[in-house]
């Protein structure tokens, strides 16, 4: 892991980078823009993204290009912090694995919609050298067998092989996603247990477990609302691994609720009601990100653990980019800025 000497350096650098985050005033200014070009120009001229967007011509950039450049900015921040980490196999490689899984899932979605050729338009070439497989080669995949062949030398192939579709069947995206995400979070927890002190491990587990737990509850409620006849066993197969902080009895009650109304009642009479949307009691992405944001912001400010501060900063960076993307999408579809504001963390 990082030495005590590099600990101080990376903590200082993270604090400096976090100090360049978008302010409330800058968010307000972004939401007042009318076009993607105006958003790009403001980010380039008035924010901490100026260096990353220095070569951009705002008038000619389109939405996908801008969003890809923002993702590249986050990855470059990660690389700048990794100059202080010298181990060949590092816990901090989880950031790259996160991107690898996102790209595999994106290709599976495109295969299911018969549009795999579109992957080339926005693939993150800037991570190519760090990834376990070639994203450029992923762009040439045209079927599930091709995907398995590309991933043959990675752990992902064995995880996905069991979901190989028969004939013209669609790929079971949900099962693929759960298998990949379970592999990802299980690996993270093993690394945390092996490499960190008890105090740091508790902090890191809280960050990751909070997200997986609320994601599981969210998914159960969506099954009950939109696919109420789904067998209980199938719902259980869709659950991500957690640290069992939520009582099994409560999870079983949610899963075995006959409909969304009964599931809602179970949630209303539990401590988890505060994490729901007051209108329909179904979690929304906004709520998941808001909870994660508040937890990570608190740890970044007060934790003395380099690993905790690093993870918190990377998640906060991801939320900020998601906010900008939300603004861009809102502008694209003509959403009033008052409504866009409600979707910003």
Res 283: pLDDT: 60
CB atoms within 10 A of CB 338: 8
The whole-number average pLDDT for the span 84-107 is: 85
The pTM for the full model equals 0.88
Q: For 179-194, how does the pLDDT look when each residue is reduced to its tens digit (9 = 90+)?
A: 999 999 999 999 999 9
Res 5: pLDDT: 47
Total domains present in the chain = 1
Is 118 a member of any domain? no
Res 4: pLDDT: 53
Q: Is 122 helix (H, G, I), strand (E, B) or coil?
A: coil
Domain containing residue 283: 197-304
Res 171: pLDDT: 97
Res 89: pLDDT: 62
- Residue 321 clears pLDDT 90, i.e. is over it: yes
Is 103 a member of any domain? no
Grade residue 83 by pLDDT with cuts at 50, 70 and 90: confident
Q: How far is CA 341 from CA 315, 328, 337, in A?
A: 20, 12, 6
The whole-number average pLDDT for the span 197-218 is: 92
Q: Which helix H or strand E contains 344, and what residues bound it?
A: none
Res 49: pLDDT: 92
Closest CA to 165 of 207, 219, 213, 108: 108
Res 278: pLDDT: 54
Instruction: Classify burial at 29, counting beta carbons within 10 Å of its beta carbon; exposed 0-12, middle 13-18, buried 19 or more.
Output: middle
Res 128: pLDDT: 85
Rounded to the nearest integer, the mean pLDDT of the chain is: 89
> Is 337 within 8 Å of 330 (Cβ atoms)?
yes
What are 279's two structure tokens? 């209108």
The whole-number average pLDDT for the span 71-79 is: 90
> How many angstroms separate the CA atoms of 293 and 253, rounded?
28
- Residue 178 clears pLDDT 80, i.e. is over it: yes
CB atoms within 10 A of CB 206: 15
> How many angstroms separate the CA atoms of 263 and 225, rounded?
9
DSSP character string of 244-294: S-S-HHHHHHHHT-SSHHHHHHHHHTSGGGGGS-TTT----HHHHHHHHHH
Is 283 a member of any domain? yes
Res 217: pLDDT: 87
Q: For 25-74, how does the pLDDT look when each residue is reduced to its tens digit (9 = 90+)?
A: 999 999 999 999 999 999 999 999 998 888 888 888 888 888 888 988 99
């Amino acid at each position: 892991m990082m030495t005590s000497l590099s600990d101080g350096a990376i903590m200082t650098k993270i604090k400096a980078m976090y100090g360049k985050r978008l302010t409330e005033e800058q968010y307000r200014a972004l939401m007042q823009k009318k076009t993607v070009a105006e958003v790009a120009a403001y980010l380039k001229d008035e924010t901490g993204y100026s260096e990353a967007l220095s070569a951009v011509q705002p008038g000619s950039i389109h939405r996908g290009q801008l969003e890809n450049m923002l993702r590249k900015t986050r990855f470059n921040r990660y690389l700048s912090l990794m100059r202080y980490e010298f181990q060949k196999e590092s816990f901090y490689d989880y950031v790259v694995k996160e991107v690898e899984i996102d790209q595999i899932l994106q290709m599976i979605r495109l295969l299911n919609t018969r549009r795999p050729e579109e992957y080339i338009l926005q693939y993150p070439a800037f991570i190519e050298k760090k990834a376990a497989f070639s994203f450029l080669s992923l762009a040439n995949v045209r079927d599930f067998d091709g995907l398995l062949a590309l991933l043959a030398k990675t752990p992902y192939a064995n995880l996905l092989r069991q979901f190989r579709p028969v004939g013209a069947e669609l790929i079971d995206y949900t099962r693929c996603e759960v298998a990949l995400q379970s592999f990802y979070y299980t690996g993270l927890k093993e690394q945390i247990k092996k490499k960190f002190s008890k105090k740091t491990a508790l902090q890191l587990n809280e960050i990751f477990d909070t997200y997986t737990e609320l994601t599981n509850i969210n998914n159960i409620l969506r099954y009950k609302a939109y696919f109420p006849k789904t067998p209980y066993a199938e719902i259980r197969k869709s659950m991500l691994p957690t640290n069992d902080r939520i009582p099994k009895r409560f999870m079983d009650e949610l899963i075995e609720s006959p409909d969304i109304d009964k599931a809602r009642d179970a949630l209303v009479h539990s401590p988890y009601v505060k994490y729901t949307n007051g209108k329909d009691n179904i979690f929304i992405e906004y709520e998941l990100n808001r909870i994660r944001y508040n937890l990570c912001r608190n740890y970044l400010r007060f934790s003395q653990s380099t690993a905790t501060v690093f993870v918190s900063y990377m998640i906060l960076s991801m939320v900020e980019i998601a906010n900008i993307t939300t603004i861009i999408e809102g502008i694209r579809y003509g959403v009033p800025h008052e409504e866009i504001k409600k979707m910003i963390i």
